Structure 1
């Protein structure tokens, strides 16, 4: 982005914007990252500007109540911004926000994308299934917890009281249930794998040779609201943590968690 006249910013072929507004937004996000009150030098570093420039922005934000100064160069988000946020929370359709982001992720990666919620088991709410000209049969509705990546995400983060009965039910349906102790061990292994990797990786039983990778999208209460999943033939999906596809998925999950008001530790770098 390059500045034009009167602070006008140009981001390439798209519409021009006001660079100072975009810089101000980065400053607010830098404070949102926390934890707690944030020092001026950290605000400046996160926003990518000089401390003197950050101070000028913060002075105006404090005057408007969008930021609160706690003395000695420490800042929190302020009551005016909270009021704007509460109004936006009433007006914004959160699922439409997630659905739009999922479509963008599919365009960016060239892979299928699904948005999954929990309702006594994982349920696909939105599914964009075309993968570089290929079409596969992944439909909206209930899916298995044991054999889907989003199912593993929910298994990893939900309380045992919610996840274990569903896992036991699916083991019984597969004819491999022995006892709850063994089911508990299976649940703990899924949880450990997801927490160690930072995302869930599953070969889809419903679609042999296809892989799915899923990350949590957190809500304002610090709970998993959605599982955001990419799906692909194994030959097209690089499952390494630093691959462009996995990084794009995780970045989108962090972005959505921030927009849904999740605690900063769930999305901040």
Structure 2
């Protein structure tokens, strides 16, 4: 995976300036049934499915008959409940094959940086641990030692703490042992510190982390995990800024924006909370 640092691109033309054209309302209406099946994640009775989709049962049934003919939906012969069919599975697999995770992540970083006026780093699990692969700069005069290729401490940085909380325990134990053996001039950002089970549980519960003693004085960072279709953590999205700008508005504004961005990105990568 190629590491890169990006500057803000020119603002794209507003989507509102380009008319979408006339759609097919019946397709949009029927899609509500498919959305309900995806969101619920289990076979559903006609009346329940119709209620969630906001349709009359007779109207929903007509759509479901057509969906059954195309294998988008199938019906259990014993219970009569509906679930997504083979063609829906084929569509999902095709989508995953053509999805570029880093392109989606880059778009997320750009949008989040523009929304918050903060630097945004994408951090993946590399050979030596949490490794920065992209930094989207906000345009502010922020002096920091985060660049593509930077390796973070597992316990001394916000991104590392998220990996420590969400990666398999065996993976983390091995990486921590390696980090503790490193020389002080290894170049890793952040200093090892003990993390209690309580801290790890708190990060898992909250869905984000910060470092109590940031590697760079005056600079604060918050990180949150991104998951793929298999429920595996694939990266963190990390927002970085000056203390005086970030901390006062963190819980009210910036952390909610970060969590919204990572949830959306995880969803685009196929993750479901029930995975």
Task: Please report the TM-score for the alignment, with normalisation by the length of structure 1.
Answer: 0.75
Let me know the Cα RMSD of the aligned residues: 3.2
| Alpha-carbon distance between aligned partners in 2 of 1:43 and 1:136, rounded to the nearest angstrom | 53
1:231 maps to which of 221, 240, 262: 240
| Alpha-carbon distance between aligned partners in 1 of 2:24 and 2:257, rounded to the nearest angstrom | 25
Matched, 1:250 2:259: yes
| Alpha-carbon distance between aligned partners in 2 of 1:129 and 1:14, rounded to the nearest angstrom | 29
Stretches of structure 1 lacking an aligned partner (at least 5 in a row): 1-10, 176-182
Stretches of structure 2 lacking an aligned partner (at least 5 in a row): 1-14, 185-191
- Aligned match of 2:37: 31
Higher RCO by CA contacts (8 Å cutoff, separation 6 or greater): 2
1:76 maps to which of 83, 91, 107: 83
Structure 1 residue 153: deviation in Å? 1.2
SS in 1 for 2:211: strand
Task: Please report the TM-score for the alignment, with normalisation by the length of structure 2.
Answer: 0.74
Whether the 8 Å CA contact 1:66–1:79 is kept in 2: the answer is yes
1:86 maps to which of 80, 93, 114: 93
User: Number of paired residues?
Assistant: 245
Whether the 8 Å CA contact 1:203–1:211 is kept in 2: the answer is no
Whether the 8 Å CA contact 2:113–2:120 is kept in 1: the answer is yes
Summarize the alignment of residues 188-267 of structure 1 with structure 2, pairs less than 5 Å apart: 188-202=197-211, 205-237=214-246, 238-240=249-251, 243-265=252-274
- Aligned match of 1:163: 172
Distance 1:264 1:25, change over 3 A: farther
Distance 1:157 1:63, change over 3 A: same
Structure 1 residue 16: deviation in Å? 2.5
| Alpha-carbon distance between aligned partners in 1 of 2:29 and 2:214, rounded to the nearest angstrom | 47
2:67 maps to which of 61, 64, 71: 61
- Aligned match of 1:5: none
Whether the 8 Å CA contact 1:216–1:224 is kept in 2: the answer is yes
- Aligned match of 2:3: none
Structure 1 residue 40: deviation in Å? 5.1
- Aligned match of 2:19: 15
Distance 1:173 1:116, change over 3 A: same
SS in 2 for 1:228: strand
| Alpha-carbon distance between aligned partners in 2 of 1:89 and 1:250, rounded to the nearest angstrom | 23
1:122 maps to which of 102, 121, 130: 130
Structure 1 residue 123: deviation in Å? 0.8
Distance 1:253 1:188, change over 3 A: same
| Alpha-carbon distance between aligned partners in 2 of 1:234 and 1:39, rounded to the nearest angstrom | 52
List, as ranges, runs of 4+ consecutive aligned residues in structure 1 with deviation greater than 6 Å.
none
